[in-house]
Amino acid sequence: MQNNGTSELIQSSFISKDLKAIAKKALDGERISFDEGVLLFEEGEIGFLGALANHIKENKHGDSVFFNRNFHIEPTNFCVFDCTFCSYSRKLRERGDYQAWELSEDEIYDIIKSYNDKPVTEVHIVGGVHPKMGLHYFANLIKNIKEIRPDIHVKAFTAVELEYMCRKAKVSYEEGLKILKEHGQDSLPGGGAEIFDEELRNEICADKCSTAQWLEIHETAHKVGMPSNATMLYGHIEKYEHRIDHMNRLRELQDKTSGFNTFIPLKFRNENNQMSHITECSIIEDLKTYAVARIFMDNFDHLKAYWPMIGRETTQMLLAYGVDDIDGTIDDSTKIYSMAGAEEQTPAMTTQEIVTLIKEAGRHPIERGTLYDTIQDYSEVEFEEERVRAY
Ligand code: V47
Ligand code: SF4
């Protein structure tokens, strides 16, 4: 089925023969190749890419846009690694810095308890890699969190944290992940992927888990029954072929395991880090990156725009470029992007605000669980006090 003018795309005289051939493939549900992905970046203008990506998105999900009610816990921002794009971490020697923290176990439980009367369904736990917080500490932490809040989905620990935990505890990834699963961890977030090209990875995050380790940890998680997400850090020193290479490696792993829930491109933000000399990419580049991701990653069901990182208005626009998910209410519980210069200094949206944001873009808001089970369809829900905006 072709809609929203997509059939005209393959007839337009402004579009090259090669792009038309790619559009036809994508519209027929055929997978596009590495070189075709690169060509989309190089030659596709945003109207063309948006129409194609939107067609694919609507075939998968109609005009639904998913969000969840969640909050983050970041146990610490002390980190043994030194990623050049990171604005968030501090070295242990910087103890006392006003922007450094390490939460005690009780502080973490108090955060969980503070949500006791709130209808959140997910807690996202990630942080810096602290040498004293190991596998058994975190396993016990998750067990206690689940005792306080048995119904909550625990999405925790990037592959970077997991690689370090397993290495220090001298267990295989499979053993480590099984221990965490037995203690109540439900899934893995997508962080730490950055950019898979080994040469670039060596330039921006040389000392943390390698590409091969990131992929192996996610493959193992899928094998032991823990689904996961995948991210890509874009808009820094990478070129288009590196973005396609990154997406291609994920597409190949997804063919093998079907364990990824969603793909999340993350725009590099340049404040307060060792890469501040790099200018942030344009909004056009954001739209292109999401659209090409939607077209290229045919075996990923969902494409997420993480609004605290990219901003609310760009998020709304991305709903026409293949995005079907905008993460959650967050509740001012993450510091990763505010410290890197994102507009959202205290990211939090009420359910009403997130629903309004989606409705303003002409879409149907659906509250989901972490694994995309529908919790509530908000398309017909009227809030007592609708926000009014003068246009
Ligand atoms: O891996 C760090 C990124 C990631 C910067 O799975 C930066 O649902 C831009 O992965 N500019 C961690 N990005 C966050 C993450 C995530 C976020 C939301 C949802 C999910 C999910 C996962 O943040 C890191 C890195 O790629 N990051 N610094 C920066 N200056
Ligand atoms: Fe540490 Fe993660 Fe920051 Fe890298 S991105 S320095 S692993 S907190």
pLDDT digits (tens, 9 = 90+) for 178-235: 999 999 999 999 999 999 999 999 999 999 999 999 999 999 999 999 999 999 999 9
Which pLDDT score is estimated for 1?
47
Give 350 Cα–ligand 1 centroid separation in angstroms. Answer: 22
How confident is the model over 34-43, as pLDDT tens digits? 999 999 999 9
Which pLDDT score is estimated for 5?
57
Instruction: Retrieve residue 216's tokens.
Output: 């192996």
How confident is the model over 341-368, as pLDDT tens digits? 676 666 778 888 899 999 999 999 999 9
Whether 326 has a pLDDT exceeding 90, the answer reads yes
How confident is the model over 108-131, as pLDDT tens digits? 999 999 999 888 999 999 999 999
CA-CA-CA-CA torsion sign (117, 123, 127, 129): positive
Please name the residues in contact with 75: beta carbons below 8 A apart, sequence gap of 6 or more: 102, 103, 108, 125, 127, 130, 133, 141
Residue whose Cα lies nearest atom 7 of ligand 1: it is: 268
CA-CA-CA-CA torsion sign (278, 282, 288, 294): positive
Instruction: Retrieve residue 303's tokens.
Output: 């494409």
Please state the domain extents for the chain. 4-61, 65-377
CA-CA-CA-CA torsion sign (250, 292, 364, 60): negative
Give 9 Cα–ligand 1 centroid separation in angstroms. Answer: 34
Answer yes or no: is the C-beta of 130 below 6 A from any ligand 2 atom. Answer: no
Which pLDDT score is estimated for 6?
66
The whole-chain average pLDDT of the chain stands at 92
Give 14 Cα–ligand 2 centroid separation in angstroms. Answer: 44
**Best of 153, 155, 231 for a ligand 1 pocket test (most atoms within 8 Å of beta carbon):** 231
Confidence category of residue 91, pLDDT binned at 50, 70, 90: confident
pLDDT mean over 141-145: 98
Give 209 Cα–ligand 2 centroid separation in angstroms. Answer: 11
Q: Is domain 65-377 classified as CATH 3.20.20.70?
A: yes
Residue 82 Cα: closest atom of ligand 2: 6
